[in-house]
Structure 1
Amino acid sequence: MNTQHMIPSPTKDHDEERADQLHATSSPRGLYSEEKMIVYKEVDPAIRGISMDWPASLGPCLGKKQVKGLGWKATPFIFVAEFGERLGAYGLQINLITYLLFQMNMGTAQAANLVTNFFGATCMAPLAGAILADAYVGRYLITAFGSIIYLVGLLVLTIAAIDPNLRPQACTKEQWFMGQCQKPSAVHMAVLYLSLLIQCIGSGGIRPCTAPFGAEQFESSSARHKTQLRHFFNWYYLTIAFSILLSFTLVVYIETSLGFGYGFGFCALVMGLGALVFVAGTPLYKILPPAGSPITSLVQVTAACCRKRRLPLPDASDLYDGAPGKEGPETILHTDNFRFLDRAAAIDDRDAADMAARGRYDAWRVCTVHQVEELKVLMRMVPVWACAVVMATVLVQQGTFSVVQAISMDRRVRVGGLSLEVPPASMAAVSMLALVAFLPAYDLWLIPVLARYTGHPKGLSYLQRIGAGLVLSVLSMMSAALIETKRRDHAHRSNHVDLQPGEFLRFSAFWLVPQFVLIGLADGLMIVGQLEFFYDEAPASVRSMSNAFLGAALGVGSFLSSAFVSITQSATASRHNRGWLQDNINRGHLDRFYWFLTIFSGLNVLVFLAVSHWYVYKTPAPDPPHDFHKPQTRSF
């Protein structure tokens, strides 16, 4: 077996050097395979060329620069910023369909599509924000400006919800069910779209940066910080889950009891406080400058490979490794997969002539091995990312059709002599309750137990955790289909197909609890697994962009869900049948749509098993205990 050891940094002590050497002899393929290892060359910080100075645009007024990360001392301020953004986003999104139906007087299918499209846009926007952060502005400034922009969007929507001139004339639920309400005008829709657009832009600045910016506060040269970083993403997502839980309960209660203007205003208040707290923590942050556009490097590799497509595959020893002293903070060594890309690092006669004449190579003809390997890493990650897209189509259902289901069901809770009615949108809080309970339990208790059996310090590998989440999402969709079948049958048997305004079925909404619990657990496994996966596997130069990949998966999944809704409705509607997804779900067949998503998600799990079988981890897996030395051949 050919193994390559890391070149230890002079700043490391003996124990950390030994740990790096042990990691370098472990395998990234499979759980503990001896094959296809990808290791990093650690470079002396003196020649890295990366300054720890403040970005010049921050000015001297921010105080003393923080050169070394302070770990948990700095991350609470970042958590608060993320808390404010997510509470604002989900406080709007989870009850947005109710606002669109009964305040903007939209139809069910139109409102559901707008909700999923808005959710998709807020998930796709971070791709642009990530590119700006990595290449030009830096994660700190993007997060700060994104918070302010998002706050403006929430304020516009708050004003629109308060001012009756900025929305259609109010009507009763009886009129809405009869289709007699005034439709929104072009001005009403323009104000609505403007507020949502501004929020999308702000979200694009916050979401891709908070997780990698928080992770940067932990020093990779500190053994203690390395251990703490293993828990960072669990607690980061727990913060998100708690903010979403408050959105599903407190914010929905305010919107339902006091009005949408108060609810949206509360979200804006929390968002503003989050932005202030984030800025207040500035003296504690380690702020790295942008590393240059990662897109340019990837395009250069593609262009160089295309220009040399007729060259025979070069030997690894003949590839261009870069000029001495020009290495970055981490340099990926050559791997044998996607060998056709190696042509980008090959040197032909024309390149040699360029070097002789100009003293350098043409960057669009000759790339370094590190540049080529960055593209290879991203190409290996794409299939894993694609499998997350399908699960996102399941996740978005809890904010659309699950709410519509709850509207028609008995949501009363009897406490002593009191009878309380749970708002429809708050039913989705069950998934967040499950998630909030699961993440600390997983981090504190399940990881040590699982580690004894798997030998993995995190209990499960990234792909195992993602795969478990995908399986639970299938079970959640199956539960939703079964309960919807039962609910619809009850409506027909009890002759309550056409419910009057304020009327509901004598069928408890708490039958929806199993599907919400399952999707909450799936969320905790898959989303956190992907956060860790994208952060650890992506090259350092594209970490903001890689973190945005997760949001992009949720965004594409939302658009896919909208496409499924439109296609399903078009395919099932006829002259005598209004289709599966009618405004009156008692006359439709939402259960069949859920069964379709169940089958689709099941096929996605099979695809993921194949993808994970062939995936090669970028970094070595940790050394296994003595009884796990037998080489494996699978990553999953």
Structure 2
Amino acid sequence: MSSFETEKEKENIVLDGSVDLRGRPVERAKTGGIKACSFLVGYEFCERLAFGGIWANLVIYLTTKLHEGTVSASRNVTVWTGTMWSMSIIAAYIADTHWGRYWTFLAFSSVYIVAMGLLALAVSLPSLRPPPCSSGEGCQKASNLQIGIFYLALYLVAVGAGGIKPNISTFGADQFDEFDPKEKSHKNRFFNWWMFTIFFGSLFGKTFLIYIEDNVGFGVSYGVITAALIISGIVFLIGTPFYRHKIVAGSPLKRMGKVFMRVIRNWKVKAPSDPSTLYEVDPKEYIAKGRYPIAHTSALRFLDKAAIVKDGNVSSKISTVTEVEETKLMIGMLPIWVATITPSILGPQAGTLFVKQSETLNRHLGSSFQIPAASVTAFLTLSMLITTLIYDRLLVPILRKYTGNPKGTSALQRMGVGMAMQVVAMLVAVAVEIKRLEAVKDGGLQNNKRGIVHKSIFTLLPQFILLGIADAFLDIGKIEFFYDQAPESMQSMGTALYTSSNGVGAFFSSFVITAVSNFTARGGRKGWIVNNTNASRLDYYYAFLAVLLLMNVLFFMFVSYVYAYKREITEAFREHSEKAMIDTDVNGPSLKGEHNGSDPIQL
């Protein structure tokens, strides 16, 4: 190869430090971008179809097939959902610290496929479920073996699904180079279209698959899901030559832990007023290893003590300014993360209590077709799809003119709109439930748990539409915020904050529904939430949730007001990066990085 060709090749190398699976720098024209993301989008569509088909109808399976009560089934669904979302924290740590996003994704997707196969067997074989009952009363309970096998498979699904969620979306965003204007503009819209794919896959799962579950059988539906996951996994592997990979930068938690330990060690030392006296290495050392130096900020200045140089001596016991700033960024996001927990309790409500409401309504379309009860959640997903499309195509160009923000609004503003819409959605849900209970009373159905009131299932439409609009704003804002604001070497962990807030929210939802059910039933009174939906007071419960959400909106307004956004990568750093990449040997760094014993940066 001539020196001219070598020089030309280096000029076409992606500037954000991305490499291929063998650790070599990658060329912009041959990798990444929309081409690479097309393989990831195909997988995500199938995965969300699978998750939608399981989650939306799970409460129905537990109550009608395993003969669990409404409160127990709702609690089990939310705990399972919480486990799945919380699993993302472990998977993100593994990806950022050891395996990288690609291999972590492959490992957990394999678990997902095996678990789905086992779950399909658990719902198909008659010996693995109790016999059906016609009256709903005195049904034979599932045996310990039947319950054990079903929940073992279900929680293995949670491990697999939870493990891929923080890595597949982050891996998709990794395919766009922050330093290339065209790719950066695509990245600004990436999460809109990524969530659109998620909503689209969920819509198919909540309609097509649920119809199969209600009219053909759960075993057939879960078999289709297993096949879809296998096919989508093959599609993902086919795209391997086109993927870009971030260099594994070592344990983010370990680096943060060292910062805290060094702060404690220097607690009595006063932080310098001049940040230039703090320890930092040459930016080229970061760039060559696929990381970004971060400029000093005045936030959380007590953490600067970790980078104080004593008596002119530099040792491995000193953190760099970049390591300190990475820690500041992660800590700074925690109040926002806390504010996203309470809004996450509404997802489990839509998949449990909203579905139980729909069972009591007239679901017929024409004389023969009946909408499956769990398919009511498709209204929510359809609303999210339409809102995302309108926002990206119509609102962003308009808002961009007024805000100057390429994305139309900031991620926090988008989240705030979503949280406010949730309050409105729950107030509408209160009004709808009051009308439903009036119909229950008029029909004398209070003591008939299978009684169908003379109201259409479409009376639930307003609350689902509003909740879908809210989720479109909130969920896209959340994933965009936690990915963008995390340090580049910790972006799987950043995305895990998004998924884990859903997980903690699901656990919180389980706690709330159990606590409200028990508290309102004290003293022999009839509780707000009982096994008979027609005898429950879900209007009271929804009003309680609306108050809880309103209080959280006020908290979110405060923490978002004081939050300081991460600085954009400057043009000066772009020039540094270009020079460093050109100066770097064409073989590039290894995927795992290299550690020089005299260099305190842990890579």
Fold match by TM threshold 0.5:
yes
Partner residue of 1:322 out of 269, 281, 304: 281
CA contact (8 A) 1:82 1:207 kept: no
CA contact (8 A) 1:12 1:221 kept: no
Give the corresponding residue for 1:199: 157
CA contact (8 A) 2:78 2:506 kept: yes
Shift of 1:585: 2.0
CA contact (8 A) 2:396 2:408 kept: yes
Distance of 1:237 and 1:342 partners within structure 2: 38
CA contact (8 A) 1:160 1:167 kept: yes
> What CA deviation, in whole Å up to 9, does each residue of 1:355-398 have, x standing for no partner?
4xxxx513xx3111111111111111111111111111112211
CA contact (8 A) 1:77 1:278 kept: yes
Residue correspondence of structure 1 range 95-174 to structure 2 within 5 A: 95-172=57-134, 174=135
Shift of 1:45: 9.0
**Aligned AA (1:388):** T
CA contact (8 A) 2:93 2:251 kept: yes
Give the corresponding residue for 2:383: 434
Which has the larger displacement, 566-575 or 551-560?
Answer: 566-575
Q: Is 1:443 equivalent to 2:392 in the alignment?
A: yes
Partner residue of 2:226 out of 245, 268, 281: 268
**Aligned AA (1:425):** A
Residue correspondence of structure 1 range 303-318 to structure 2 within 5 A: 303-315=261-273, 316-318=275-277
Give the corresponding residue for 1:390: 342
Give the corresponding residue for 1:39: none
Partner residue of 1:289 out of 247, 250, 256: 247
CA contact (8 A) 1:219 1:226 kept: yes
Distance of 1:482 and 1:12 partners within structure 2: 62
**Aligned AA (1:406):** S
Shift of 1:193: 1.8
**Aligned AA (1:212):** T
Give the corresponding residue for 1:19: none
Shift of 1:548: 1.2
SS state of the match for residue 524, structure 2? coil
Shift of 1:227: 1.0
Give the corresponding residue for 2:407: 458
CA contact (8 A) 2:449 2:532 kept: no
1:65/1:280 CA distance change after superposition, 3 Å: farther
**Aligned AA (2:230):** G
Give the corresponding residue for 1:300: 258
**Aligned AA (2:456):** S
Distance of 1:452 and 1:45 partners within structure 2: 31
Unmatched runs of 5 consecutive residues or more in structure 1:
1-10, 14-43, 57-63, 624-636
Partner residue of 1:611 out of 534, 538, 559: 559
Unmatched runs of 5 consecutive residues or more in structure 2:
1-9, 572-603
Give the corresponding residue for 2:542: 594
CA contact (8 A) 2:14 2:25 kept: no
Distance of 1:214 and 1:600 partners within structure 2: 35
CA contact (8 A) 1:345 1:367 kept: yes
**Aligned AA (1:187):** L
Identical pairs, percent: 34
Partner residue of 1:189 out of 129, 134, 147: 147
CA contact (8 A) 1:345 1:366 kept: yes
Residue correspondence of structure 1 range 541-620 to structure 2 within 5 A: 541-620=489-568
Give the corresponding residue for 2:601: none
CA contact (8 A) 1:53 1:67 kept: no
1:497/1:71 CA distance change after superposition, 3 Å: same
Q: Is 1:361 equivalent to 2:328 in the alignment?
A: no
SS state of the match for residue 405, structure 1? helix
Partner residue of 2:19 out of 37, 52, 72: 52
Give the corresponding residue for 1:410: 362
CA contact (8 A) 2:131 2:140 kept: yes
Q: Is 1:218 equivalent to 2:176 in the alignment?
A: yes
Which has the larger displacement, 310-319 or 504-513?
Answer: 310-319
**How much is the aligned-residue C-alpha RMSD, in angstroms?**
2.2
Shift of 1:142: 1.3
Give the corresponding residue for 1:380: 332
**Aligned AA (2:286):** E
> What CA deviation, in whole Å up to 9, does each residue of 1:397-447 have, x standing for no partner?
110100000001111223xxx442111100110111111112122111111
Distance of 1:621 and 1:297 partners within structure 2: 22
CA contact (8 A) 1:481 1:591 kept: yes
**Aligned AA (1:291):** A
Give the corresponding residue for 1:3: none
**Aligned AA (1:619):** R
Shift of 1:67: 4.1
Shift of 1:98: 0.6
Distance of 2:283 and 2:430 partners within structure 1: 61
Distance of 2:154 and 2:308 partners within structure 1: 48
Give the corresponding residue for 1:400: 352
Shift of 1:531: 1.4
Give the corresponding residue for 1:27: none
Shift of 1:530: 1.3
> What CA deviation, in whole Å up to 9, does each residue of 1:127-160 have, x standing for no partner?
1111111111011111122211101111111001
Distance of 1:135 and 1:425 partners within structure 2: 40
CA contact (8 A) 1:82 1:206 kept: no
1:424/1:390 CA distance change after superposition, 3 Å: same
1:541/1:324 CA distance change after superposition, 3 Å: closer
Shift of 1:51: 7.1
Give the corresponding residue for 1:481: 430
SS state of the match for residue 555, structure 2? helix
SS state of the match for residue 327, structure 1? helix
1:506/1:579 CA distance change after superposition, 3 Å: same
Which has the larger displacement, 324-333 or 276-285?
Answer: 324-333
Partner residue of 2:167 out of 209, 222, 227: 209
> What CA deviation, in whole Å up to 9, does each residue of 1:168-220 have, x standing for no partner?
22222x1x2x2x01112211121122112211221233101111211111122
**Aligned AA (1:361):** S
CA contact (8 A) 1:160 1:191 kept: yes
Distance of 1:320 and 1:252 partners within structure 2: 58
CA contact (8 A) 1:580 1:593 kept: yes
SS state of the match for residue 326, structure 1? helix
Distance of 1:481 and 1:361 partners within structure 2: 62
Give the corresponding residue for 2:370: 421
SS state of the match for residue 340, structure 2? helix
1:70/1:51 CA distance change after superposition, 3 Å: closer
Partner residue of 1:336 out of 266, 274, 298: 298
**Aligned AA (2:416):** G
Distance of 1:266 and 1:594 partners within structure 2: 36
Shift of 1:307: 1.4
TM-score, normalization by structure 1? 0.84
Distance of 2:261 and 2:32 partners within structure 1: 41
Shift of 1:568: 0.5
CA contact (8 A) 1:255 1:262 kept: yes
CA contact (8 A) 2:113 2:229 kept: yes
CA contact (8 A) 1:391 1:473 kept: yes
Shift of 1:537: 0.9
Q: Is 1:241 equivalent to 2:199 in the alignment?
A: yes
CA contact (8 A) 1:448 1:459 kept: yes
TM-score, normalization by structure 2? 0.88
**Aligned AA (1:535):** Y
Report how many residues are paired: 556
Shift of 1:575: 4.6
